Structure 1
Amino acid sequence: MTATHASESQASSHSYKKVAIAACFGTFLEWYDFLTFATLAVVFGPLFFPSSDPSTGLLASLATFGVGMVVRPIGATIFGSIGDRIGRRPVFMITITLMGIATVCVGFLPTYANIGIWAPILLVSLRVLQGLSAGGEIGGSAVYLTEHAGDSNRGFKTSFLQLMGPLGVLVSTLQIALLQSYLTTEEFLSWGWRVPFWISLLLLVVAFKARMALEETPIYLHLSKTETQSKNPLRDNLTDPETRKRMFLLFFCISAGGAILFFCVQVYTSIFLKTSVKLPPPLVDQLSVYATLALLPLTVFAGWLSDKIGRKPVVVSGLILGATLILPAFHLLHSRSNSTFLVALTLIGLSAILALVVGPQTALLAELFPAKTRNSAATLPHNLAAGWIGGLLPLIITWLNQQWSSDVAGLWYPTIFLGSGAIVAILYLPETRNSNLNK
């Protein structure tokens, strides 16, 4: 390699690292804000949805979390089309600001005891704003990062974006555990639960400054110079048979599978261990931290592996293992609750399954679609799956458990979905690892 080429390679590597750090930090903030709701689901019940029946309060709290997920496809439709028409970068500035402001406002909300019915109404309204923002960010960030990643090792380079969800859960969980250890129960319920939302203001300032320095992707710049952007990306996507097919595959196999596993492993296990197994909340938070720490390197490994053997075999393996082992894993968690080691090991095993699906996911989102409609084609099915399938998962499982008077009956829902997704992926999902992103 000549000195000139070496210098260009170093500059390109430095530029990508800068882009990756800024994009990932913003996505971390989105997930941190978004998932703090899930972490505090048990706390929100009595504060905003008081009821004589604790199960009813928990369901209402989970429904509030689900509302933000349900509106994500609307945000994806709006911001995804904007990203294809005027660029990926402007969307990032809008979504990060919207998410940050909505989250900080949650930290100042009066509770039901202060203003009655207006408390849950305002909480749900802010949750809707969060959902719209997440719809534009999550999916669009995958396209942005992948278009900057180049042609080699895209699975490995972009897998780091998938760490932001687990890191958001980890930081939120650690914060709440720390607050609960230093505050009395009364202090935590009075004001301590607000602290993670207040901290969002500082994170918002840092993320906004980092994103101001981001550059538009070279692929979009080429589209704008040649004036080949789509004027109506959503219509173009829905009228093209091949794009429609790939949007369905992204929705049903990749995004829904990843969302189901993510919410089963990162969100519902914590709720299950606290409410059904009755483990002490501090212990559950500690175990969740171990599982999340294990997930981080496993996700990067899965992304690297997809560069070597292909995206499809890695994702399909995760779907099959998820369909096979989710139900037995939760039975084991319930029956071996007296063994902390076995519970921790089970959670780490579930994390490994999750990693197989989400590790290659960032690259896949971009590789499946043509450049001129990529942003909208990727963000809509991805957020539809994450919002309607993944986001409602804790609520649906909890409701099914109550209907069947069982702690695990509701887990047949994710089991059947993952199994169906695996079959469809085996038959129809294309291999995309060598795709040309400029087309």
Structure 2
Amino acid sequence: MNATTIEGDVPHAPSASDIRLVIAASSAGTIFEWYDFFIYGTLAALIGQAFFPAGNETLQILLVWAGFAVGFGFRPLGAILFGYLGDRLGRKYTFLVTVTLMGVATAGVGLVPSAATIGLAAPAIVILFRIMQGLALGGEYGGAAVYVAEHAPPEKRGFYTSFIQASVVGGFVLSILVVLVCRAVIPAAEFEAWGWRVPFLLSLILLAISLWMRLKLSESPVFKAMKESGEMARNPFVESFTYPGNKKRIFVALFGITGVLTTIWYTAFFSGMSFLRGPMRVEPGIVEWVMLAAGVISMGLYLVVGKWSDRVGRKRPIIIGAAATLALMFPIFWGIGALANPGLGASAQAAPVVVHGTDCTYDPFASRQASACGRMLADLTALGIHYEVDARPCAPTAECAANAITVGERLHVYSGMEDDARKAALQGWLEQAGYDFTPQSPPLGALVGIVALLSAMGLLSALTYGSVAALLAEMFPPQIRYSSMSIPYHIGAGYLGGFLPLIAAYIVATTGDPYAGLWYTWVAVAFGLAVAWWGLDGGPPRDFIIQSAEAPPVSPARP
């Protein structure tokens, strides 16, 4: 059997109404699964208080993001497991399993008692549920993307599959919308005490809706054709790495496609949200509305890019989006900072902070720093203040050398201060120099500008992500497609993207620069751009074609 038979002359071709149901059910399920996964990040601050209590605010948020990253770390394993099942047993039933696993795990997080009640068992159970979520998500994206791609006519494959990419953003938007509604109907104190659990428990309702829609679907026509002809792969995982040319395709899919799209995506949405909530001190409710608006706008951009790729090919949007990210990402975030909290930048310029001492070592993962200077750096990091460290003595006395800070033109010594007294004194010194620590409520014009800049990041994400489901489906042979596209996608998304909030937060904590975490994204995108330029084929979209010179080594399954 050749690829044309599999993809160009499929028996039982789906009707227009069938395709609409396929897109609707696959997209809805993807929205619900990503809602389940992202609600953890949306409620990161409250989850930290409930399950990861620590005396260090920076450590607490790092532990939350570490738990976030754990789920991503298990996505490749889910991709291997469910990719195997999807290529052997079928696309439909595999992603029915993934959506069920995700819904149960998410609801479970909402039922776990707090650390104050059951101690260390609480974070351990939460991590276990995050692992289950990661496994489920590892199988979900590949299943939904392959399922839609194998139903779509070639000339509309980019547009139809772009609904899957838009649905990922839709899950993020839905998580914010549910949190906003819950905040509106549950008093603030009660929401922080127990109401934050409601969005997790709602996943059971979303699970029921998703299962109802997906049970109405039939199997992919491409999978049916392979099954009827007896040419399915025996071991899709192994054959993903033995098929001629597949190693290169997997490398390109990992670094040139996924490595680019996933770091831009998480920078646009999660780094943007953390940046506004943290260093910029914008009111949490305002941040959620801003991210909701930017997310809704971005969803439409994914569809536009997907449709555009059907005309110009898949490579051009990715190259344009990656190159534009390298040029625009820092200016976009500088603009967001200037609009969200203009006084902070002005204060930092007028009254720069310099910490003096010879023992200024800072470990963000330590509950308490070993030296007084390290504790001062921890205080500045918790306040989101940019600082410089000067190892030279600030005065001829050893006391001043080890325990002094300059704010603007004024030198302050904090020798012998207890933690609470030092923190209060530091905030007072900074406020005297013009720093403002009150929650920020930017005016309407500034909020519109912030939404516009976040939407610009959304456009960069759409350019590198909107056509990816179609591109990955076209890159790999249908017999091993589910596995071959899922493995590199979830390694890239799981490690390069999933660890981004943790790594970026660590970089910010150790440098004192709220923009320093963006360098992680810049380096990943720069490398990915080079790989995509080298490894992706240009020109119009085309189905995977088995070249006559290469007999497909896919082993037929035993009857």
Tell me if both proteins adopt one fold, taking TM over 0.5 as the criterion: yes
Query: What is residue 125 of structure 2 aligned with on the other side?
Result: 122
Alpha-carbon offset, residue 296 of structure 1: 1.4
Alpha-carbon offset, residue 340 of structure 1: 2.2
Query: What is residue 4 of structure 1 aligned with on the other side?
Result: none
Alignment deviations for residues 171-204 of structure 1 (CA, whole Å, 9 cap, x no partner): 1112212222343332012211011111111111
Query: What is residue 338 of structure 2 aligned with on the other side?
Result: 335
Query: Could you tell me how far apart the structure 2 residues matched to 1:40 and 1:420 are?
Result: 32
1:423 is matched with which residue: 515, 530, 533?
530
Query: What is residue 349 of structure 1 aligned with on the other side?
Result: 456
Query: Could you tell me how far apart the structure 1 residues matched to 2:12 and 2:298 are?
Result: 31
Alignment deviations for residues 203-227 of structure 1 (CA, whole Å, 9 cap, x no partner): 1111111111111111111111111
Change (3 A) 1:372 1:432: farther
Is the contact made by 2:167 and 2:299 (CA closer than 8 Å) also made in structure 1? no
Instruction: Report whether the alignment pairs 1:410 with 2:517.
Output: yes
Alpha-carbon offset, residue 332 of structure 1: 2.0
Query: Could you tell me how far apart the structure 2 residues matched to 1:188 and 1:173 are?
Result: 14
Alpha-carbon offset, residue 9 of structure 1: 12
User: How does 1:167-246 map onto structure 2 within 5 Å?
Assistant: 167-246=170-249
Alignment deviations for residues 233-281 of structure 1 (CA, whole Å, 9 cap, x no partner): 1111212341111111111121121111111112121111001111111
Alpha-carbon offset, residue 341 of structure 1: 2.9
* SS of equivalent to 1:340: helix
Alpha-carbon offset, residue 17 of structure 1: 0.5
Change (3 A) 1:368 1:145: same
Query: Could you tell me how far apart the structure 2 residues matched to 1:432 and 1:128 are?
Result: 40
Structure 1 unaligned blocks of 5 or more: 1-7
* SS of equivalent to 1:409: coil
2:109 is matched with which residue: 93, 106, 118?
106
Query: Could you tell me how far apart the structure 1 residues matched to 2:180 and 2:92 are?
Result: 36
1:398 is matched with which residue: 476, 489, 505?
505
Instruction: Report whether the alignment pairs 1:147 with 2:150.
Output: yes
Instruction: Report whether the alignment pairs 1:285 with 2:288.
Output: yes
Alignment deviations for residues 39-68 of structure 1 (CA, whole Å, 9 cap, x no partner): 011111111111111111100001111100
Query: Could you tell me how far apart the structure 2 residues matched to 1:340 and 1:99 are?
Result: 34
Alignment deviations for residues 117-168 of structure 1 (CA, whole Å, 9 cap, x no partner): 1110000000100000000111221111100112221111111111111111
Query: What is residue 295 of structure 1 aligned with on the other side?
Result: 298
Alpha-carbon offset, residue 401 of structure 1: 0.9
Instruction: Report whether the alignment pairs 1:367 with 2:469.
Output: no
| Equivalent position amino acid for 2:535 in 1 | Y
Moved runs in structure 1, 4+ residues, more than 6 A? Answer: 8-11
What is the number of residues matched between the two proteins?
A: 432
Query: Could you tell me how far apart the structure 1 residues matched to 2:259 and 2:534 are?
Result: 17
Instruction: Report whether the alignment pairs 1:388 with 2:495.
Output: yes
Alpha-carbon offset, residue 437 of structure 1: 5.1
Instruction: Report whether the alignment pairs 1:276 with 2:383.
Output: no
Query: Could you tell me how far apart the structure 2 residues matched to 1:79 and 1:67 are?
Result: 18
Query: What is residue 25 of structure 1 aligned with on the other side?
Result: 28
Is the contact made by 2:323 and 2:529 (CA closer than 8 Å) also made in structure 1? yes
Alignment deviations for residues 370-395 of structure 1 (CA, whole Å, 9 cap, x no partner): 11111100000001111101111000
Is the contact made by 1:139 and 1:365 (CA closer than 8 Å) also made in structure 2? no
Structure 2 unaligned blocks of 5 or more: 1-10, 342-445, 547-559
| Equivalent position amino acid for 1:86 in 2 | L
Query: Could you tell me how far apart the structure 2 residues matched to 1:386 and 1:21 are?
Result: 24
* SS of equivalent to 1:435: coil
Query: Could you tell me how far apart the structure 2 residues matched to 1:329 and 1:46 are?
Result: 31
Query: Could you tell me how far apart the structure 2 residues matched to 1:77 and 1:180 are?
Result: 39
1:312 is matched with which residue: 309, 312, 315?
315
Change (3 A) 1:239 1:11: closer
Query: What is residue 39 of structure 1 aligned with on the other side?
Result: 42
Which is further off, 332-341 or 284-293?
Answer: 332-341
Query: Could you tell me how far apart the structure 1 residues matched to 2:307 and 2:241 are?
Result: 32
Alignment deviations for residues 393-418 of structure 1 (CA, whole Å, 9 cap, x no partner): 00000001111111111211110111
Change (3 A) 1:9 1:229: closer
2:83 is matched with which residue: 80, 84, 88?
80
Query: What is residue 379 of structure 1 aligned with on the other side?
Result: 486
What fraction of aligned residue pairs are identical, expressed as a percent? 34
Query: Could you tell me how far apart the structure 2 residues matched to 1:432 and 1:83 are?
Result: 30
Bigger radius of gyration: 2
Which is further off, 347-356 or 68-77?
Answer: 347-356
Alignment deviations for residues 354-374 of structure 1 (CA, whole Å, 9 cap, x no partner): 111111111012010011111
Query: Could you tell me how far apart the structure 2 residues matched to 1:26 and 1:36 are?
Result: 15
Please give the TM-score of this superposition, normalised by the length of structure 1: 0.95
Alpha-carbon offset, residue 10 of structure 1: 11
* SS of equivalent to 2:517: helix
Query: What is residue 3 of structure 1 aligned with on the other side?
Result: none
Alpha-carbon offset, residue 425 of structure 1: 1.1
